[in-house]
Copies of this chain bind each other. A is one copy, B any other.
Amino acid sequence: MSAVAVRSMFQSHPEQPSHADALSRCIDACFNCVETTSACADACLAEKHVARLITCIRLNNDCAAVCAATGSILTRANKVGHRQLLEAQLTTCIAFARTCAAECQRHAEMHKHCEVCAKACQHCVDACTEMLSSMRMPA
């Protein structure tokens, strides 16, 4: 639902951002990742063998922090002026989400919440990558 809401907002934005589809999907994938990594960190904390999940918890929290920043910055991504900053943020976000996806995947068989979280992280990686590609194409 939210990607649709954000998408429809950009249509009435006075400076209609180019690539509004990729942008809307990316914002939504980032905040979806905030939700799942935060929830996964908490589910891990409740597991009996929490000591084995410390790295997963930390990466989940780091990923939530970066994705929240990325999502917020993307809602202001309507201008051509700071393209390099946006590329830096997306690239950093991809690095965190990819690492978090890999760590969660290691626990996916054991913990369903890690499997769901790994998918959301990978979805965020894909959406950020698509956004980067869109930015490099003519509007």
Contacts and interface: CB of A to CB of B under 8 A. Distances in A.
Contacts of A9: 36, 39-40, 43, 112-113, 116-117
Interface residues of A, number: 69
> How many identical subunits does the complex contain?
4
A105 interface: no
Contacts of A13: 39, 42-43, 46, 113
Contact of A39 (B10, B45, B64, B95): B10
Interface in A57-76: 57-59, 61-62, 64-66, 68-69, 71-73, 75-76
A43 B14 contact: yes
Contacts of A48: 14
Interface of A: 1-3, 5-6, 8-15, 27-28, 31-32, 34-36, 38-43, 45-48, 50-51, 54-55, 57-59, 61-62, 64-66, 68-69, 71-73, 75-76, 78-79, 81-82, 84-85, 88-89, 91-92, 95-96, 99, 111-113, 116-117, 119-120
